[in-house]
Chains A and B, each alone.
Chain A
Amino acid sequence: GNSVTQMEGPVTLSEEAFLTINCTYTATGYPSLFWYVQYPGEGLQLLLKATKADDKGSNKGFEATYRKETTSFHLEKGSVQVSDSAVYFCALTLNQAGTALIFGKGTTLSVSS
């Protein structure tokens, strides 16, 4: 079946540290891949996306590259800030009628100053 696996959290970092959150997927067909972020007490916001292999999504200093050969979409940021503390969800969609976003279990990031 179709699924998303992301690294277990919580991830605890100091400000300005390098961040990697691993995400791998299993999908039939050619999915689009996403990272969503959920700040405390808020809904989900799209952070970045990639719709085909080798595409790189980027936003707010975060990046992720769609790697078809390793079925991965790892999230990275070179220097995290306290304000990046949130839950990060990797997700895919199959771009077909009758489908919806399939989410990973979420990774909680906590950044301290």
Chain B
Amino acid sequence: DTAVSQTPKYLVTQMGNDKSIKCEQNLGHDTMYWYKQDSKKFLKIMFSYNNKELIINETVPNRFSPKSPDKAHLNLHINSLELGDSAVYFCASSRSVGDTEAFFGQGTRLTVV
């Protein structure tokens, strides 16, 4: 059983489109995250939810909107995609806020053309 699963694994789309990436965790964790990994492999936190409540919202364009329908799911919706949005997006979860260990999904490689 995959602990943290993301779909799709690969996403190629044109500039200006709107797309979503889905994430689900079956670990019973309360906290979920979205990270962005750029072309140089640098990882940076974007958002975090705890029990469906937004607790971290780093400086990202408001074209990015996370949605958490329940504590096991955290989806990422991106409007009006731009070339610079091309990256690998990782979902992660942890048992609780500030918990020491996070579990990561396999990543979604987004390519905007």
Please give the residue numbers on chain A whose beta carbons come within 8 Å of chain B beta carbons, in ascending order.
Answer: 32, 34, 36, 38, 42-46, 49, 51, 87, 89, 93-103, 105-106, 108
Pick the most buried of A34, A42, A43, A105: most chain B CB atoms within 10 A of its CB.
A43
With A42-B106, A43-B105, A43-B106 in contact, is A95–B100 under 8 Å at CB? yes
Find out whether the CB atom of B44 lies under 8 angstroms from the CB atom of A103: yes
Find out whether the CB atom of B55 lies under 8 angstroms from the CB atom of A43: no
Contacts of A49 in B (CB 8 A): 100-101
Interface size on B, residues (CB 8 A): 26
Complex CA distance for A87 and B48, rounded to whole angstroms: 24
Contacts of A46 in B (CB 8 A): 101-103
Contacts of A38 in B (CB 8 A): 41
Smallest CB–CB gap between A88 and chain B, Å? 10
Complex CA distance for A105 and B42, rounded to whole angstroms: 5
Name 28 A/B residue pairs within 8 A (Cβ), A-sorted. Answer: A34-B100, A36-B104, A42-B107, A43-B4, A43-B105, A43-B106, A44-B43, A44-B92, A44-B104, A45-B104, A46-B101, A46-B102, A46-B103, A49-B101, A51-B100, A89-B43, A94-B98, A95-B99, A97-B55, A97-B97, A98-B98, A99-B56, A99-B98, A100-B33, A103-B43, A103-B44, A105-B40, A105-B42
Q: Which of A98, A101, A106 contacts B102 (CB 8 A)?
A: A101
Find out whether the CB atom of B90 lies under 8 angstroms from the CB atom of A44: yes
Find out whether the CB atom of A100 lies under 8 angstroms from the CB atom of B104: no
